């Protein structure tokens, strides 16, 4: 055990298994954070362990204050919730590295005292020139140990001196470069150089902080991207030097574009985790999609792939040995398909509630809609639920139901497709629909007759049969009059929701422009 120990001994921390995700708040959260969280959490929930969220904010140059809250919000939106973390507390608090600075210094002192680390006073300019020369000579890049074995006074007599030193690991020549991986089996990594573990500003680098924090938080399994394979020998070395038990390692394959390049926030908007909510994806669809990346789907009794599943179903069958180490392709077309399927499976009330924020954002509804507006939304939502793949698509379909009947804005493409007989169609439809009684015209106590079936019968009789126009062409002008669009929710059901008076007003309004 180290000289600095957590308030709770590692052996007494809750949970037989303890896993963590540790994003850096340097901008919008990366979709990889959700990807890693899903696989961590699936294993944790299966095994009855604990899932921790730790914020690794030692990179102060790239730190963004709003990024941490975005991590909280997006992971909660996905339902990937944690048992311990900065916002919920826990026995290993604090869970932000910037609040744990006193934790790292004792470990650094031990490494220095044991000869496993040393001070380095080389300036950034000197290190840059050294790397440039190594590259010119096509030599392996890495620190040349100019400061090793020298005192500060001795080093100050040489070029490229900086008065504020860093601390470096002294990596031995016989460092073990192989380790066991839960996904990949026995893995070999390249030889590391003398990595900086404490920066000149007193902040630890990732390599020291991750080892100390994972130890003090009792982490039993470290699940991270394959880009960290090359760093694992350094971490195992630090564990051994400090007399600590290393965790099990699982290095997940990186998410890749269709051209096999690494998905990045700089080039790919979908790399931003906030993008998916903005674009109208359901959280359960995104979780489902991420669960299909690097992991085979379940199979039914006939041996067919079952690609739709919940987090709980994914967790129940999870096995590290089934993770495919080859980087999966991030196929947005597949996600769009999944999203559409999940949208169609929502209960109607749930679907209406899901599209409401998007309607408010688009100005279709206000911040405090009336009961009447919400009642109409429930009816309209039932018409469009099978017609959209993103929740963002709802606004255009729903908007015509919330405008004044004499102010429906007709889209250019909808007006352009009106045929020469549009006026004749509108006149015939108006005459036919005028004869269809609504609930206010029926006999007291009788069923109202302004229903989609009655509306369709009247219109087919008047327009299709009466005017001899094919059904495919007969109702285009009516659709344009009612919605202002070429593509709209089902016509007869839309007229039923709008009501007789509103429908006739809309037909008359378009007719007046022809």
pLDDT in tens, 246-297: 999 999 999 998 887 888 777 788 889 999 999 999 999 999 999 999 999 9
Q: Is 187 helix (H, G, I), strand (E, B) or coil?
A: strand
pLDDT value at position 450? 94
Per-residue pLDDT tens digits for 13-35: 888 999 999 998 888 899 999 99
* pLDDT per residue as tens digits for the range 22-70: 998 888 899 999 999 999 999 999 999 999 999 998 777 777 888 899 9
Helix ranges (H only) for 399-499 are: 412-416, 422-434, 452-459, 466-467, 471-474, 476-483, 491-498
Asked whether the beta carbons of 348 and 385 are under 8 A apart, the reply is yes
User: What would the pLDDT profile of 102-120 be if each residue is shown by its tens digit?
Assistant: 999 999 999 999 999 999 9
The CATH code that applies to domain 1-84+207-330 is 3.40.50.620
Query: Cα separation of 93 and 6, whole Å?
Result: 9
Binding residues for ATP: 265
pLDDT, position 438:
83
Give the tens place of pLDDT for each residue, 447-480.
Answer: 568 999 999 999 999 999 999 998 888 899 999 9
Q: How many helices (H) and strands (E) does the chain have?
A: 22, 11
Element (H, E) at 42: helix 31-47
**Where along the chain do the CATH 1.10.8.70 domains lie?**
346-402
Tell me: pLDDT of 136 over 70: yes
| pLDDT for 218 | 97
Between CA 342 and CA 346 the distance in angstroms is 7
Mean pLDDT of the chain: 92
pLDDT at residue number 64: 80
Instruction: Kindly report, as residue ranges, where domains of CATH 1.10.10.350 are found in the chain.
Output: 407-511
Share of the chain above pLDDT 70, in %: 96
Q: Three-state SS for 368? A: coil
Cβ count within 10 A of residue 311: 20
User: What is the three-class DSSP state of 328?
Assistant: coil
The answer to whether domain 407-511 has CATH 1.10.10.350 is yes
User: 366: exposed, middle or buried (C-beta count within 10 Å: 0-12, 13-18, 19+)?
Assistant: exposed
The CATH 3.40.50.620 domain(s) of the chain lie at 1-84+207-330
Radius of gyration of the chain (CA): 32
The two tokens of residue 401 are: 């139901």
Pairwise CA distance, residues 307 & 338, whole Å: 9
According to CATH, the topology of domain 346-402 is Helicase, Ruva Protein; domain 3 (1.10.8)
Q: Give the pLDDT band of residue 2 (cuts 50, 70, 90).
A: very low
Q: Residues with catalytic annotation? A: 265
Binding region: 265
pTM of the model: 0.89
Residue-wise pLDDT tens digits, 187-227: 999 999 999 999 998 889 989 999 999 999 999 999 999 99
Q: What is the pLDDT of residue 1?
A: 36
């Amino acid at each position: 055990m180290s000289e600095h120990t957590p308030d709770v001994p590692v052996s007494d921390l809750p949970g037989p298994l303890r896993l963590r995700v540790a994003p850096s708040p340097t901008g919008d959260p990366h979709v990889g954070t959700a990807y890693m969280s899903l696989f961590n959490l699936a294993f944790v929930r299966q095994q009855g362990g604990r899932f921790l969220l730790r914020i690794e904010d030692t990179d102060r140059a790239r730190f963004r204050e709003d990024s941490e809250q975005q991590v909280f919000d997006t992971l909660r939106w996905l339902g990937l919730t944690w048992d311990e973390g900065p916002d919920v507390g826990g026995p290993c608090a604090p869970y932000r590295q910037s609040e744990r600075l006193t934790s790292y210094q004792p470990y650094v002192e031990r490494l220095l005292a044991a000869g496993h680390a040393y001070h380095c006073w080389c300036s950034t300019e000197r290190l840059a020139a050294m790397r440039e020369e190594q590259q010119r000579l096509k030599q392996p890049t890495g620190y040349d140990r100019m400061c090793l074995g020298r005192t500060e006074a001795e080093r100050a007599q040489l070029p490229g001196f900086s008065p504020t030193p860093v601390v470096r690991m002294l990596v031995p020549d016989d460092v073990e470069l192989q380790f066991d991986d839960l996904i990949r089996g026995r893995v070999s990594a390249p030889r590391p150089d003398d990595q900086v573990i404490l920066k000149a500003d007193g902040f630890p680098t990732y390599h020291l902080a991750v080892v100390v924090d994972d130890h003090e938080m009792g982490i039993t399994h470290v699940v991270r991207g394959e880009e960290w394979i090359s760093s694992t020998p350094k971490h195992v070395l630090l564990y051994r030097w400090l007399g600590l038990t290393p965790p099990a390692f699982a290095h997940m394959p990186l998410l890749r574009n269709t051209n096999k390049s690494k998905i990045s926030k700089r080039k790919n908007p979908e790399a931003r985790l906030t993008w998916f909510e903005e674009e109208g994806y359901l959280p359960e669809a995104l979780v489902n999609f991420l669960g299909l990346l690097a992991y085979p789907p379940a199979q039914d009794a006939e041996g067919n792939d079952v690609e739709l599943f919940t987090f709980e179903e994914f967790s129940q069958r999870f096995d590290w040995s089934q993770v495919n180490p080859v980087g999966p392709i991030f196929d947005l077309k597949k996600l769009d398909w999944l999203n559409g399927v999940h949208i169609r499976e929502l209960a109607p009330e749930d679907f209406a509630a899901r599209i409401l924020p998007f309607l408010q954002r688009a100005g279709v509804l206000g911040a405090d809609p009336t009961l009447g507006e919400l009642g109409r939304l429930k009816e309209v939502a039932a018409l469009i639920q099978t017609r959209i793949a993103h929740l963002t698509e709802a606004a255009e379909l729903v908007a015509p139901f919330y405008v004044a009947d004499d102010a429906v804005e007709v889209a250019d493409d909808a007006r352009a497709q009106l045929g020469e007989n549009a006026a004749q169609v509108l006149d015939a439809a108006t005459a036919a629909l005028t004869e269809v009684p609504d609930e206010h015209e029926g006999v007291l106590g009788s069923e109202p007759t302004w229903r989609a079936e009655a509306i369709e019968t009247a219109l087919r009789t008047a327009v299709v049969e009466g005017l001899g126009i094919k059904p495919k062409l007969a109702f285009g002008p009516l659709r344009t009059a009612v919605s202002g669009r070429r593509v709209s929710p089902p016509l007869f059901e839309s007229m039923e929701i709008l009501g007789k008076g509103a429908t006739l007003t809309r037909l008359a309004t378009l007719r007046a422009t022809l």
